[in-house]
Structure 1
Amino acid sequence: MRLLYNLAMYLFTPLVMLRLMARGMRYGDYHLRWRERFGTFSTPRLNGCLWVHAVSVGEVNAAEPLVKALMVAYPQAPMLVTTVTPTGSERVRQLFGDSVYSVYLPYDLPFAVRRFLRSVRPRLAIIVETEIWPNLYFACRRHGIPLLIANARLSERSLRGYARMRSLVRKALRCVSHIAAQSRTDAARYRLLGAEPSQLTVCGNLKFDMPVPCDALADGTTMRATWGAGRPVWIAASTHEGEELAVLQAHLEVLRRIPDALLLIAPRHPERFRAVEASIRSLGFQTGTRSGDGVPSLHTQCFVIDAMGELLRFFAASDVAFVGGSLVPIGGHNVLEPAALGKPVLVGPNTFNFEEITQALLDAGGGERVATPESLGEDVLRLLRDEVRRKSMGEAARKVFDSERGSVERVMKLVDNLLQE
């Protein structure tokens, strides 16, 4: 099975490179730093570093409180954060600046993994969420590097995917020192893949420990003053292809009843910023962008947030938050940011990537599920018209967020034990 896996990796690598070239035509950063994807990079002295891998923006945001806790607890150890996407790498730079070293994780090719580990020589490896790379895991065991999967989650879809090579995945998981699962459901799914009960601890979700900037609400209030403090505002965050049209149709319904309403829309992927903006303008909306206008004007009907790392302030400036990836079968995105700011949350029917968090929010009354794309407009309109309901849902959302904090402390205990061992 491992031989077949390596053969497949070598065969698919040229196709992956072609995909990167294609994406680079729309988002230039994909053309940069290709050598890192094969384990080659210029590196300072990283021997004995603490290494955290977070594949993209969502995982980097989840890892933020853990990385900061590691830097406080082990100030003498160099810190390395690897990502896979340019947006993830940029988010690392935004959050940590020069206090961490950041490169791309190499492809799971034996020679690339060996080259990477020879350059880095980490004291501890922490993989955030769902990244099971057999060659990387085998190499960590061979080099005696403790490996922790933190914030471990495994959706039903991922479980089915990994089950196709169950014997290889089982052997890879036996290389892991410990798995800090988000929930009992995630832990059970890791058991089905072959993890031992002694490897598993349920530690909760790191995203509940994300820092909420104290100035986020103040920034939101300041922005609202520029476009009219009394205007009803809703945000569609982390939208995907196939969702923007439903969002814009919903906003048309809202505008028929509330002519001065404002929609903030944040596409999930930067390479789609311009396409989404062009679509909105083609439909006749008065449109603004973060890059071109800074903030909406009094006359803006739709505002495209074409910037990374700024969602919190726009959530704070909104009355209602719709979280994307849920009207299409992507599986949904993080509902915790609007919840942390006390905003009522709407999601579509597809939330399997964050099923337990989303369900907890729905059960507590902090969120509502949109049954169909066609019903989004009515659901948004109902909440924009009902201030009492919005406040009640917002308070319930914030309570869910506050009640689940503490995951970082539990994961740090596992880290301390592994480093002492």
Structure 2
Amino acid sequence: MYTLYSLLVRLVELVLPLVARNSVKLQQFVSGRATVFAQLSDFMRSEPQTIWFHTASLGEYEQGLPIMEEVKKQYPKHKIVLTFFSPSGYEIRKNNKIADLTLYLPLDTAANARKFLNLLNPELVFFVKYEYWPNYLQEMKRNNTKLFLVSGVFRSNQIFFKWYGGFYRKALTAFSHFFVQNATGAELLRGIGFQNITVSGDTRFDRVVAIAANVKTPEWLTNFKGSDNLIVIGSSWPKDEQLWANYINGSAAGTKFLFAPHNIKSEQITELQRQLRVPFSTFSTMKLEELPAARVLIVDAIGFLTSLYAAADIAYVGGGFGNPGIHNVLEPAIFGTPVVIGPNYNHFAEATALVKNGGVLSVDSEAAFREKIDLLLNEPDVAAEVGHIAQTFVQMNTGATASVMKYLGNL
């Protein structure tokens, strides 16, 4: 089975350069991997002791960051090597300050896995949330590498728990320990014979608390908000933006609206502008003195979302009217900001729990959306209670990083 799997991955490796010609992301995926072994060989010439972290993309990087920071303190003489699978993670965080070397992960052929691990020879390895590459796992098992899954998520519909999933179940035996987010994941793993499990929670809670402690409100945001209420529409998609444009166009003065779209390509920004019937400004072209007159500000740049949520009176987290679903509700929740989302959130444990507890309001239609936004704007006590529940939920679920580090301290 490993041979067949490796042949299929090798075939993908050969075909990708041809397919990538018409896709910028695929071009990055291919070209970014072309020099990985050369970079790694050069880095390893000084024969450093290494610790390897692997993340799929940007979200998993944020989950892994609290562990990376603590590991760096606990192992100050080691070098951290960070790999990404996805261009959307690598391209945004390739110049991060936590890792000593940041690379794409070569595709999971047996030859790539063997070469990568022989060069790197890591003392510890951390995979974040998921990413189960059988050849890499088999090679680490062969080398008796200490491999840990942190903030792991397991669901009953995954291949590990199907009658035909033996190949992948065997791959999981490479892990020295599983740090999972919840009891459901732990029970699923126990059901297929694993006992090396700790229910540690999700390191994202630790991450958002750390970020919130250092947030600063930029001058332009203060200038835009003034004394009005501020609604921040974060990580929005076209369906979210259409909903909001309809609402904004009929809204009264006294509330400002700030969009931070998920996609900041000019086509989506232009379409959003086309739908608005009130004065608006765009971050890339704004003038401070003109901001007070604008009702809407469109932030066509990345890196500001946390400071935007910190200043919000109400937050809307986008993605819930499409697939794969909503973005991170914890980012606004930590500030005690009442949060509204669309209906597609069931695959996100923290959002599901917050909706159930009343810390996040979910809407599934334009009528329900208008009702909830009006409620939060017109009933400050209700808004404060929703925000308080959300903030308390985040604070009560911190500690995953400490759980992992306690275990490592006993190795």
TM class by shorter chain equals: 0.7 to 0.9
**Structure 1 residues 224 and 369: alpha-carbon distance in aligned structure 2, compared to 1, 3 A threshold:** same
Residue from 310, 315, 318 that aligns with 1:321: 315
Query: What's the counterpart of residue 224 of structure 2?
Result: 227
Structure (1 or 2) with the larger CA radius of gyration: 2
CA distance in 1, matches of 2:106, 2:317: 31
> Contact between 1:325 and 1:333, CA under 8 Å: does it hold in 2?
yes
- Give runs of aligned pairs for residues 252-263 of structure 1, distance below 5 A: 252-259=246-253, 261-263=255-257
Matched, 1:62 2:63: yes
CA distance in 1, matches of 2:160, 2:15: 20
Residue from 393, 399, 414 that aligns with 2:407: 414
> Contact between 2:233 and 2:257, CA under 8 Å: does it hold in 1?
yes
Residue from 395, 400, 403 that aligns with 2:393: 400
Tell me which amino acid in the other structure corresponds to 2:348. Answer: F
Query: What's the counterpart of residue 378 of structure 1?
Result: 371
Query: What's the counterpart of residue 41 of structure 1?
Result: 39
CA distance in 2, matches of 1:253, 1:116: 53
Query: What's the counterpart of residue 280 of structure 1?
Result: 272
CA distance in 2, matches of 1:366, 1:399: 9
Tell me which amino acid in the other structure corresponds to 2:147. Answer: L
Instruction: Encode CA deviations 1:37-59: one digit per residue, 9 max, x unaligned.
Output: 6x453442364311111211111
CA distance in 2, matches of 1:93, 1:392: 40
CA distance in 2, matches of 1:396, 1:207: 18
CA distance in 1, matches of 2:343, 2:376: 18
Query: What's the counterpart of residue 205 of structure 1?
Result: 202
Does the residue aligned with 2:137 lie in a helix, a strand or coil? helix
CA distance in 1, matches of 2:144, 2:21: 36
Tell me which amino acid in the other structure corresponds to 1:282. Answer: R
Query: What's the counterpart of residue 184 of structure 1?
Result: 183
Q: Aligned residues, how many?
A: 404
CA distance in 1, matches of 2:35, 2:261: 27
Query: What's the counterpart of residue 234 of structure 2?
Result: 237
TM-score by length of 2: 0.88
Does the residue aligned with 2:39 lie in a helix, a strand or coil? coil
Query: What's the counterpart of residue 310 of structure 1?
Result: 304
Tell me which amino acid in the other structure corresponds to 2:402. Answer: E
> Contact between 2:179 and 2:197, CA under 8 Å: does it hold in 1?
yes
CA distance in 2, matches of 1:382, 1:262: 16
- Give runs of aligned pairs for residues 76-95 of structure 1, distance below 5 A: 76-93=77-94
Instruction: Encode CA deviations 1:75-97: one digit per residue, 9 max, x unaligned.
Output: 11111111123342355356x42
Tell me which amino acid in the other structure corresponds to 2:265. Answer: F
Which of the pair has the greater relative contact order for Cα pairs under 8 Å at 6+ separation? 1
> Contact between 1:250 and 1:376, CA under 8 Å: does it hold in 2?
no
CA distance in 1, matches of 2:255, 2:114: 55
Residue from 346, 351, 354 that aligns with 2:345: 351
CA distance in 2, matches of 1:103, 1:34: 8
CA distance in 1, matches of 2:377, 2:30: 43
Query: What's the counterpart of residue 113 of structure 1?
Result: 113
**Structure 1 residues 50 and 248: alpha-carbon distance in aligned structure 2, compared to 1, 3 A threshold:** same
Tell me how far 1:10 sits from its aligned partner: 2.4
- Give runs of aligned pairs for residues 361-376 of structure 1, distance below 5 A: 361-372=354-365, 375-376=368-369
Query: What's the counterpart of residue 167 of structure 2?
Result: 168
CA distance in 1, matches of 2:240, 2:357: 27
> Contact between 2:17 and 2:30, CA under 8 Å: does it hold in 1?
no
Tell me which amino acid in the other structure corresponds to 2:166. Answer: S
Matched, 1:248 2:242: yes
Tell me which amino acid in the other structure corresponds to 1:78. Answer: K
Identical counterparts, % of pairs: 24
> Contact between 2:182 and 2:199, CA under 8 Å: does it hold in 1?
yes
Q: Which runs of 5+ in 2 are unaligned?
A: none
> Contact between 2:232 and 2:259, CA under 8 Å: does it hold in 1?
yes
CA distance in 2, matches of 1:99, 1:160: 32
CA distance in 2, matches of 1:256, 1:332: 26
CA distance in 2, matches of 1:294, 1:214: 29
> Contact between 1:40 and 1:116, CA under 8 Å: does it hold in 2?
no
CA distance in 1, matches of 2:387, 2:247: 23
> Contact between 2:233 and 2:259, CA under 8 Å: does it hold in 1?
yes
- Across the aligned residues of Structure 1 and Structure 2, the Cα RMSD in angstroms comes to 2.9
Tell me how far 1:105 sits from its aligned partner: 1.2
